[in-house]
Amino acid sequence: MRGMRIILLLVSVLLCFSLNSASAKRYMMSIHTTSPLHMHRQHLSKMKVSFLKVGQGDATLIIMPNGQTMLIDGGPYEAGEVIIQKLIEKGINHLDVIVSTHPDMDHIGGLIPIVEQMPVSLILDSGKTYSSLTYHTYRNNIKKRGIPFVSVKEGQYIPLDPHVSIQVLNNGKSKDENNESSIVLKVRYGKADFLLMGDADVRTEHEILKQFDVHADVLKVGHHGSYTSTSETFIKKVEPQFAILSYGSSNPYGHPHQSVVKRLKRHGIMVYRTNKSTVEMETDGEHIMLESSGLMPLLK
């Protein structure tokens, strides 16, 4: 059954990336309503999003309403074992998709032990290559394990759950810098929107604003809250209720920059940080719930 899962997922992703956006969405709906793969999956009715505590780095786990799993980045190398333990605690022994937003070591380092130790059906990549030892080791491990590796395209959809829209707003094609090449994802379940910025900077924000609707309830702030990201214009367009800052305490980069934190708070946005603990959210498509907090109605 695992082999069938890998084949169906890979075929659906490849076809979605070769079709236009409207066709991709129709195909995504058809494969996920007719495939026997999804007949035996537990239907959770809620989507769970965990912004993981990984030190100075970035990693986000999403469990779809149908039980499919997507890990976006893996933090630095030492975070890999921490993430594996977190997955085990959640009863996850297999990842359907890993998204590698860009090749910086604080995003892909932890993916090295994860790929070595955990079954993975598919890895989606920005398409940006890099000459570092970390990137070389990461790619070699993927090849050794025989994991399908696909570069995403802007505007395309990742088909994991028929009730969840996952759209790629940026990729690494023709981008010179790693941060500029970051995969940016908009994830929608019902009325709940999550915008995951990777390490995208203000240049990428500007390009995205010209092409896509970026309004979202939850913003995973770009580049760990660096001053190079999260412009005033961008915040006004996104209009998030919640902002997530992913960084490690006492990091040498000064993340997050206080100007960004003040900018977010000035707009009345509730700011949460991963330097002390994982930020857990779940949504039924109507409300967003924070761990240890009550239901937060969507202000739409």
Report yes or no: 14 and 122 within 8 Å, Cβ to Cβ.
Answer: no
Report yes or no: 74 and 107 within 8 Å, Cβ to Cβ.
Answer: yes
Cβ–Cβ contacts within 10 Å for residue 39, how many? 8
Classify residue 62: in a domain, yes or no.
yes
The parent domain of residue 98 ranges over: 2-286
- Peptide linkage before 256 cis (omega within 30 of 0): yes
pLDDT band at 178 (very low <50, low <70, confident <90, very high): confident
pLDDT band at 126 (very low <50, low <70, confident <90, very high): very high
> Span 173-183, mean pLDDT?
77
- pLDDT, tens only, 222-264: 988 888 999 999 999 999 999 999 998 888 888 899 999 999 9
Classify residue 204: in a domain, yes or no.
yes
Classify residue 244: in a domain, yes or no.
yes
**273 or 251, which is more confident:** 273
Q: Is the pLDDT of residue 294 over 80?
A: no
- pLDDT, tens only, 17-66: 544 444 334 433 333 433 333 333 445 589 999 999 999 999 999 999 99
Classify residue 42: in a domain, yes or no.
yes
CATH number, residue 58:
3.60.15.10
Classify residue 142: in a domain, yes or no.
yes
Helices (DSSP H) in 19-93: which residue ranges? 21-34, 79-89
Classify residue 35: in a domain, yes or no.
yes
> Span 84-112, mean pLDDT?
96
Instruction: Quote the pLDDT of residue 148.
Output: 97
Q: How many domains are contained in the chain?
A: 1
Report yes or no: 255 and 20 within 8 Å, Cβ to Cβ.
Answer: no
Classify residue 298: in a domain, yes or no.
no
Classify residue 80: in a domain, yes or no.
yes
